[in-house]
Structure 1
Amino acid sequence: MKTPYIRIGGEEGVKRLVKHFYDEMETESTVRPLYDLHPKPLDKIRHKFFEYLSGWMGGPPLFEQKYGHPRLRARHMPYPINSELKDQWMLCMDRALVATVKEKALRDQLRQAFDSLAEHMINRK
């Protein structure tokens, strides 16, 4: 069975998804609180997210090779993440998925997985 990494188009597909995700974050005014939490410029975080998603989707484990285990929840603990920020993150991701993933079954699978991941990052009520 092909991994999501292969199904999305490999490195280029993951890069497209990340680009659209952060482009949404930069331009959508309703997600300004989410955008404001991110270090600027977004170049480094865009690249780190690509590296993370590469391995997360079943491709090369670029993030782990560079930084070790992702420990996502621990890495995000300094940032106050509540359900509103999670919803803002998912809005950006939903739009990025629609723009870049043509295969509906894959898009739905990724949306569900991203929603679970984003829910796990909530650390404030």
Structure 2
Amino acid sequence: MMTDSDVAISMFERIGGSATIDLLVDRFYERMDTLPEAKVIRAMHAADLGLIRDVLKRYLTEWTGGPRLYSVEKGHPRLRQRHIGFAIGDAERDAWLTCMRGALEETVADAAARQDLDKALSGLADWMRNR
């Protein structure tokens, strides 16, 4: 007989599901829009962040183990390929992480989950560098 402790809990569940993902992404883009140190990455985005905000919500939902909202519409993420037209070096990675870490601090209450998610996102951001 399986118990709850036998089933791995997804990061999506650990952080609070869709409500947390939505808030996380909203806070992330608010930071990108307002922090001086984020200007370098804000300039890479359209004036209206609505569309990309929705895409990131669907991507992070699936990436953290939630419902498959991204791949059913967009296919394989191919993140590096999708971002290859943007010069992403250490400064851009660091600006992205500054926005994301601030958003994580504000939205993910569980400190262990926040730390695990930060580690995973840091690795992902580092891998996105192409300059």
TM-score tier by shorter-chain length is over 0.9
Shift of 1:9: 1.3
Instruction: Work out whether 1:52 is the aligned partner of 2:59.
Output: yes
Q: Give the AA of the match of 1:39.
A: A
Q: Match of 2:21?
A: 14
Superposition TM-score, scaled by structure 1 size: 0.97
Instruction: Work out whether 1:41 is the aligned partner of 2:32.
Output: no
Q: Match of 2:10?
A: 3
Count of aligned pairs between the two proteins:
124
Structure 1 residue aligned with 2:96, among 86, 89, 102? 89
Structure 1 residue runs of 4 or more that deviate by more than 6 Å after TM superposition: none
Higher helix share: 1
Superposition TM-score, scaled by structure 2 size: 0.93
Structure 2: tracts of 5 or more residues without a match: 1-7
- Name the Cα RMSD after superposition: 0.7
Q: Match of 2:39?
A: 32
Secondary structure of the residue that 1:37 maps to in structure 2? coil
Larger gyration radius, structure 1 or structure 2: 2
Percent identity between matched residues is 38
Shift of 1:2: 1.3
Instruction: Work out whether 1:123 is the aligned partner of 2:124.
Output: no
Structure-2 separation of matches of 1:88 and 1:44: 21
